[in-house]
Amino acid sequence: MALADAPRRRLGPFEVAPIGLGCMNLSHVYHPIPSPEQGAAVIEAALDAGVDHFDTAALYGFGANEDLLGATLGSRRAVITLASKCGMYGRDGKRVIDGAPESIRRLCDEALTRLRTDVIDLYYLHRLDPKVPIEESVGALAELVSAGKIRAIGLSEVSAATVRRAHEVHPIAAVQNEYSLWTRNPELGTLDVCRELGITLVSFSPLARGVLTATPPVLADLPKADLRHTMPRFHGEAYAANLAIRAQLADLADAAGCTLAQLALAWLLAQDQCVIPIPGTRSVEHLHENLAAAEVEVSDATLARAGKLLNDRTVVGNRYAPAAAGDIDTEAFLEAG
């Protein structure tokens, strides 16, 4: 069964394949960053494999990722669901969170130009701006829907309470939060509110930022600019403990006849029909491996075992360092590990 033949899942008003492509690491924070030619090769391979949901943002490469998608999609733009994000972008070489209506309108116009399209299918507020009520930010996005510049509204890294407030202003199609075996924050409330309100939960970093793959990252081998240097789970005794759990999961996957990445994605797909993971990769080979998770058969017992091995109680280390954690609105566990 090819990805195109896999049962579809609802993404707001759209129907898409059960696994999409997160494009961030083709231009942003995971180093070394591939060349535009390498990035284009991954996007083209995804299109050929039946991927019809591509996710980008103004922040990624400070516009470079939207440029890459716009230049690569070409005529096939019409057959995919294209998602991007506003509210967080690069200015003077630094990341800026800005959910003001005038900023949202400007970023949308810039995104349309970079993406070489007349309309963005799904447009997220990338981060809640604490200086701007969510009602004002979503109100600006609703105006973009009315203007025909975007088709549906999403939110990223938000809590259930914020989703409810936003949904009262305009229907929210999708919430994009980090969700994986080792990051269970959506289970504190956001997943339940998505089920209740008919919202899709788009899972970013579903492979634990590379840990739940055949080659987990080694910080000593990564350039200092790599985002994972800032994350507590990748350091010292915490990372050693997490890798020990990863080894058990790899054995479980091997016994099930699939790869570790496929097991991790199959676990997410089994959590609810409203969940759509968007793994990213720089490798065409890994792309095909990830997409094959839509067709692997893993027993309920194996999935349950995976969930018991790695979860919010067994993972060691917080998701973000304190400074980065202060920029997100998602529910958080009191401590990790």
Which amino acid, residue 74? G
CB 26 within 8 A of CB 34: yes
Q: Would you call 23 exposed, middle or buried from its count of C-beta atoms within 10 A (0-12, 13-18, 19+)?
A: buried
**Residue 179 bears catalytic tag:** no
H or E element: which one contains 15?
strand 14-16
Active-site residue identified among 30, 60, 179, 239: 60
DSSP tag of 23: -
Distance CA 140, CA 146 (A): 10
Which DSSP category does 314 fall into? T
∠ at Cα 183 (230, 227), nearest 5°? 20
Closest CA to 241 of 310, 335, 306: 310
Separation CA 137–CA 328 (nearest Å): 16
Cβ(114)–Cβ(63) below 8 Å? yes
280: how many CB neighbours lie within 10 A of its CB? 24
What residues are labeled active site?
60
